[in-house]
Amino acid sequence: MRVVIQRVKQARVLVRNEIAGEIGPGLLILLGIQDGDTDEDGRWLAEKCAALRIFEDEEGKMNLSVVELGANAGQGAVPSILVVSQFTLIASTRKGARPSFNDAARPDVAAPLYESFQRHLHAATGRPVASGRFGARMEVSLVNDGPMTLVVDSRLRE
């Protein structure tokens, strides 16, 4: 599994002009699921996302995770989390100009892993997790805070 994590001031995903998920300050997580990924990959990745210290403390240093920020009184609104499935994160651009998506997990495998990742993330953060709609064509809008954007891959475990 691979994620792109963005610290945002707000984010929203629309499906057919209807809001599927929307958050204020927090994390937008784009999730790609690859052939061979397991529930354990999702658990590890969810815990990693929850623990990343990418929010600023009172001294302006990136010392707080999404969990710590919400628990720290006086930090403002409790951060939110929005997860959007994005199989294109698994694209290979090794050959030619057209990306290959052959390594992306099939929908019948990926959909349950997407749902499981959200449950693991909720358990790791104690926060509700908003989401897009698996397999749908979505419009994602966000205000990136920083910008702060990271890529984490469960196969690399770093």
Is residue 77 a contact partner of residue 127, using CB atoms and an 8 Å limit?
no
Q: Is 88 marked active-site?
A: yes
Q: What are the sequence ranges of the domains in the chain? A: 2-153
Q: Is 87 marked active-site?
A: yes
Long-range contacts of range 144-149, CB-CB < 8 Å, 24 or more positions apart?
Answer: 144/6, 144/7, 144/8, 144/9, 145/7, 145/8, 145/9, 145/25, 146/7, 147/6, 147/7, 148/6, 148/7, 148/54, 148/62, 149/4, 149/5, 149/6, 149/7
Catalytic residue among 6, 34, 55, 87: 87
Is residue 32 a contact partner of residue 152, using CB atoms and an 8 Å limit?
no
Encode the chain (158 residues) as per-residue pLDDT tens digits. 999 999 999 999 999 999 999 999 999 999 999 999 999 999 999 999 999 999 998 898 999 999 887 655 344 555 589 999 999 999 999 988 999 999 999 999 999 999 999 999 999 998 889 999 999 999 999 999 999 999 999 988 87
Catalytic residue among 86, 118, 125, 134: 86
* Region 2-153: CATH code: 3.50.80.10
Is residue 1 a contact partner of residue 113, using CB atoms and an 8 Å limit?
yes
Beta carbons within 10 angstroms of residue 106's beta carbon:
10
